[in-house]
Each structure stands twice: as structure tokens, then as C-alpha cells.
Amino acid sequence: MDLQLSGQVAVVVGGARGMGRAIAAAFLAEGCSAVILDRDFEGEGEALVGSEGGSARSLSLVADATDLAAMRGAEAEIRSRLGRCDHVVYAAAVGSGKFGMPFWGLEPADWEQVLRVNLLGAVNTAHAFAPNLAAARTGTLLFLASVAGQIGSPTDPPYSASKAGLINFAQCAAKDLAPSGVRVNTLCPGMVKTALNRSVYDAWAARVPEVERLSYEDWSAEKIRRLVPLGRWQDADDIAAMAVFLASARAKNITGQTINVDGGYVMHW
């Protein structure tokens, strides 16, 4: 399907690895210039930047989303070097690294970095990019949240709460930017094999007696069996396909929405 994105510029914050990297690659495949903003570029990010083909361009910039000045500087550099910015995806995220059941097994200090990256980093990104998107009267913002932000998952309360806040902020931003023609949505992955997903298992495994401990494969298979109606993993390419669709004119009437790519994990009756 030609999504008519060729020649546009997409910025993926947290695009050096995982789902962010898959999204950047999908924009490149659609003929976009893809700008990867991340704190570092070890491994996957370097490989992607070196693999551009055709007329598509790619650019990597080091910037920490928790630093507003750095994000504003990155936005200015992108416009200076590429001349425009059409789509911004916020894909950076961290977990607490601890198992959160019960929540008082964590300390309030365990929340700070999670909220700083997952929520305030997204707010910084919006502050840096939204004014010029609004001035251009076109473009999109997309925030990667999680099904955990909709169901109050107790596995990692700081993570769940940060994603719930992100969903709400996206709705606020969508209302503010709609008069300028800029669309804002939230994309919620379900069960995806990422380092973050594995860290949830690691935190759980460290808390249970060895006799009750499952392998990562068995733990995830049981979780999918219980919680995912389609009974399978989602993968990064599933998330990327929806991300580029939401950036396209085919989604021109979609804004302020929370889109789940989760195999049916979350159903709103």
C-alpha cells in the first residue's frame, strides 16, 4: 500500500533499538527521511542508519528527551539540515526494573526515572516540536504507550502510571493541535519481545522461589495464553505498520485516539 509519505520527514525519539528502530525503518521503507533521536547509538541504531536505500535519507542525532533544551536544539538542527519535520514518534521508555506486587514493595524513589523518561520526556518532545508543526498546519505526533496504561497492570506500577499519564497528555495535545490540522494519537503495544519485556520477567523471577520459577519462554507463553485472545506475540513490525499508517493521509480523521496493537489484550466493551 502506498501511504504517500515519500519525501516527508519522520523523527523517532528512542529510535536506536526495539520498536523505535522498527518504526524508523518502516518510515524509510515508505520513502521518508528518518531521523533517529536517542541517547546513544550502540548496535542496532548504527546498523539502521547505515542501511538507507533509494531516495530516502536517514540521520542520527544524540539527544536526551529528559533535557528540554537538548530536544529544542535537536528540532532546530533537523529543520536546518532537512528543511522540514512532518511526523514525530515518541518511542523512548524505561521500566522500574522491579516487580511491583504489592506496590509498596517499591519505594517512591523508584518512580522518578520512569516518570521522567516515559512521561516528561514525551512532554519535552511535544514542547520542542509542536509549535512548528502547528505553524506548518500539518503533521502528526504519535506517542508509544502500553496496554499497561489502560488496565492498571500491577506488575510495574510506575510504568503503568506513566503510560496512563501519556495517554491522557496525548488527548490534551490532540485537542490543542486539532485547529492547526496536526493529529496526535497514542499507540499501545501488547506483548512484544523487547528488552523491557524481558526485564519484567527478570524482576518477577528474582522474587519467586526457585521451585515456582518458569523460564522466560514458559512464563511469556502462559501470560499470552491467559491474556491475549489471539494467542500470540505481537512484534515490532506490527507496531511499525500502525505507526506509519497513522502518519498517513489515510488516517486523516484519526486524532486523540488510543490504538491498541495487542492481539485483543485490551477490549473496551
Query: DSSP strand E in the chain: where?
Result: 9-13, 33-38, 58-62, 87-90, 140-144, 183-189, 258-261
d(CA 193, CA 230): 16
Q: What is the pLDDT of residues 4-26, one digit of tens each?
A: 999 999 999 999 999 999 999 99
How confident is the model over 256-269, as a mean pLDDT?
A: 91
CA angle 256/24/53 to nearest 5° reads 140
Q: Is the pLDDT of residue 71 over 70?
A: yes
Of 30, 12, 234, 2, nearest to 129 by C-alpha is 12
CA dihedral 254, 67, 162, 202 (to 10 degrees): 120
Topology (CATH level 3) of domain 9-193+236-256: Rossmann fold (3.40.50)
Q: What is the pLDDT of residues 170-213, one digit of tens each?
A: 999 999 999 999 999 999 999 998 888 888 888 888 888 888 88
What's the whole-model pTM score? 0.92
Domain boundary assignment for the chain: 9-193+236-256
